Structure 1
Amino acid sequence: MSSVNGAATARLARFSGVESENRYENVCQSQLLQSLWRTLTRYLQLKKDREAARAKAIRDGLIPDPNRKTRLEEAFNLVGTCEDMCPEFEREQREYQRAVDKWELNPVTRRIDPKRAVKTFHRPAAGDETPLPSDVRPPHVLKMTLDYLIHDLLESNSLEATHHFLRDRTRSIRQDFTLQHENGLIAIECHERIARLHILSLHEMRGVQDFTEHMEMEQLRKVLQSIVEFYDDSRYSNTLPPNEPEFRAYHLLAHIRDPDVARQLERQPAHILDSPIVQVALDLRSLAQRNNITSSRRAANTEATQNFFSRLFATIRQPQVSFMMACLMEYHFADIRKGALKAMKSSFREAHKAFPIGTLTEMLGFDDETQTASFASACRLELVLDPASAMPVGVKLHSKALFDGKLSARALGCI
């Protein structure tokens, strides 16, 4: 710690040696140096106090002793005691390390604001120490934190501006639930709301620079997996979560080509399996299956499927398909449309006329003919142009037509 103090002193001395002829600048510089010194002093003191706090927590049996083997029957759950959205030690540490997000700054002092700061996600690594109870937020604080993120931050700012911050901080909320092995009603409610946020992001952030759909879907699938496990655990306590059918349906659509997820759903009680939203999800899954997937990295083909892609998009337009379900299905559109064009290409002969682009737009659920033409071009299909307007009026779909189905779903989805 002496080396740290020495480095900090040298840094402050370097700044102190800078003189300015402007009296106002000298005052501001002095205040800045005092603020930096207070932050450093507070951070080093808290860091020192943590050693004593960790030893006491081990003695009191609040966290396991890393130097002692623990038998399974002696295992216990960590109970968080932090009443803030961000623990005090992390606030001071991140301010010292200049790792404070703009959404956490006090607009007047430009320092970290305890009322705005939210605990960051910490990726687990080998050799990490067990978090102290004071580092972990209990369920009611986690719910309060999520309320702040959604009702205060997101309602006052755009999703595009806050998405990165929200994604990291909601991961941290999930992490604190996991550390405490919490699976009660508060944990279920918070995970459900986080899942809805990810589904909405898949739609609203589509095509935004630096947004990666597959990473968003990866987090959504992790949240949904936790939710269905919570639902399974709730059966032992005779608890019936009110939104279980909705999120069982989302789980199925997120894994639309995974037969194991469908089998798991079919083993659910009748009140889940027979619910309208689950039945709609099962219909969508059935219509989305393909039998012309050639890449070994993709899910296996569904034998004997009839490639009902036009019925799929017609069904999605129906009122029984909720907005959230449509947002989730949108993630699969590029892949479904590639399969549809591939199936149609195999069905027509070269002698046939070009397929009308207006009909194709309706069949594949595009918003307009421009989108259809762009998608077909991305698949290397040849367009037929109107001689007068030079606008595309047809797509050449036949067995000998050039077709590139290897373009990523993300690239096609941005068209």
Structure 2
Amino acid sequence: MAAKSDIFHEGTFLQGLCMEMCPMRELNLRKKQNRLHPFEKTVENSSPKNKLNEAMNIAVKEFTRPAAGKELNPKDIRPAPVLLKTINYLLTVIMKKPSALYYKCEFISDRIRSVRQDLTAQNLQNSEAIKILEKATRYYLIMAVRLSQEPLERYDPVLHNTQLRECLKKLLRLYYIQNTPCKNWTTFLACDMILNLCTGSYYLFHEYHKTEVHATKHNGMNLAFDMIKMHAIGNFVGIFRIANTLPFLESCAFFNSIERLRSQGLRVMNTAFSSKNLRFPLQLLMEIFCFDSIEATAEFCTCHNILTQDGNVFFKRGQFMEPSQHKVYTCHKLIGSKTTQSDVDLMIDE
């Protein structure tokens, strides 16, 4: 990638001075207000001195919206090495705690947002900043799949998707201003292309052509490019055939669009196979759209007002109806079966 001069001036940004995961000022304030998270609380029978030391090792700066007109204090901002230590702590120690996944992710997502906030405050663009954003992006991609079956009161997919896109956009920007291509940039550029499959907003699509000499050997990048071509001609069967071969992380990116693509594909098939005498095998439809079960496939058809009976689908022109809200189905065949690594190993990727 060609080097790009940044629009910011280094002198206008802070240099973080906080060497702990949580600034002492915030730690003392939240302890006084009894606002420490259970993951940040110390052992009750410890001495006051030990409690303070323990709290400093496990408390993590929370996300707060910047107040208008209030200047940031460098003593409250963590430099890159501390931010890297913090996100590693979140994705290993916290993620491995024996608590419900949604509960852990509620804490982790807030603290990662704070990590990103400190990155922005310092305009960090070094290799450590890239590592931090790569880990955060993996977290957002993988947890979007893992948390998809949680009720809305436990998990907000809209907020999660917004954080994913903001993080990925920042990461791709840092890649773009580097003098040389980074190790993982093609993977995350492929994820971005796939995330934008339904929107048609391929704001970095032209970069593929500029960098194809470097990227042609990257499987995920080429598959993402093929999916864009399939979407452009309305070949939804082709899109899902390619999706079956995507690497794991790119498959997680595809998950973001899967229900809309299934719906669009079913609409096309309902028109193409509309006939009084035609019986389309439900098993085949399950395989085309990568469902995990016949039952989920039949439910999907019913939600779109498509009749299924005795293992067959009966397409009829004019009967297709778009549901007011798409149900999110599990995707073990398409995503979960593609890796044997733990989520922690996948996110840290050291």
Pair 1:277-2:220 in alignment: yes
Q: Which has the larger radius of gyration?
A: 1
Query: 1:327 deviation in Å?
Result: 1.6
Work out which of the residue numbers 313, 324, 329 in structure 2 matches 1:407: 324
Q: Give the aligned residue type for 2:316.
A: H
Which residue does 1:101 correspond to in 2? 37
CA distance 1:230–1:366, shift in 2 (3 Å): same
SS, match of residue 312 in structure 2: strand
1:383 aligns with 2:327: no
Looking at structure 2, the residues matched to 359 and 414 of structure 1 have their Cα atoms a distance apart, in angstroms, of: 18
Structure 2 residue matching 1:144: 3-state secondary structure: helix
The correspondence of residues 177-256 of structure 1 with structure 2, limited to 5 A, is 177-209=119-151, 210-235=154-179, 239-256=180-197
Shift of 1:124: 2.5
Are 2:335 and 1:394 aligned?
Answer: no
1:92 has 2:42 as partner? no
Matched residue, 1:171:
113
Aligned to 2:335: none
Question: Is the Cα contact below 8 Å between 1:228 and 1:248 reproduced in 2?
Answer: yes
Query: Partners of 1:74 and 1:247 in 2: how far apart?
Result: 26
Q: Distance in 2 between matches of 1:163 and 1:189?
A: 20
CA distance in 2, matches of 1:344, 1:228: 36
In structure 1, C-alpha distance between the alignment counterparts of 2:294 and 2:209, rounded to whole Å: 39
Per the alignment, do residues 271 and 361 of structure 1 end up closer, same or farther by CA in structure 2, a change over 3 Å counting?
A: same
Residue deviations 1:55-96, cap 9 Å, x none? Answer: xxxxxxxxxxxxxxxxx9895321111011000111111122
How much does 1:99 deviate? Answer: 1.9
2:178 alignment partner, SS class:
helix
Q: Which amino acid aligns with 1:119?
A: K
| CA 212–73 in structure 1, closer or farther in 2 if over 3 Å, else same | closer
2:13 match: 77
TM-score under structure 1 normalisation?
0.70
Measured in 2, the distance between the counterparts of 1:268 and 1:87 equals 42
In structure 2, how many angstroms separate the alpha carbons of the residues matched to 1:263 and 1:142? 32
C-alpha RMSD over aligned residues: 2.3
Q: CA deviation at 1:251?
A: 1.6
Question: Which aligned pairs between 1:317-396 and structure 2 lie closer than 5 A?
Answer: 317-318=244-245, 321-384=246-309, 386=310, 393-396=311-314
8 A Cα contact 1:185 1:241, kept in partner: no
Shift of 1:357: 1.0
Structure 2: which amino acid aligns with 1:178?
A: T
Shift in Å, 1:311: 2.6
* Structure 2 unaligned spans of 5+: 1-7, 332-350
Is the Cα–Cα contact under 8 Å of residues 187 and 250 in structure 2 kept in the other structure?
no
Matched position secondary structure for 1:175: helix
Aligned partner of 2:236 in structure 1 is 309
Amino acid at match of 1:279: N
The TM-score with structure 2 as length reference comes to 0.83
Q: Which runs of 5+ in 1 are unaligned?
A: 1-71, 290-301, 387-392
Q: Note if contact 1:360-1:372 (Cα within 8 Å) is conserved in structure 2.
A: yes
Determine if contact 1:333/1:413 at 8 Å carries over to the other structure: no
Identity, % of aligned pairs? 25
Counterparts in 2 of 1:73 and 1:404: CA distance versus 1, 3 Å: closer
Separation of aligned partners in 2, 1:189 and 1:278: 20
Higher relative contact order (CA 8 A, sep 6+): 2
The 3-state SS of whatever aligns with 1:115 is: helix
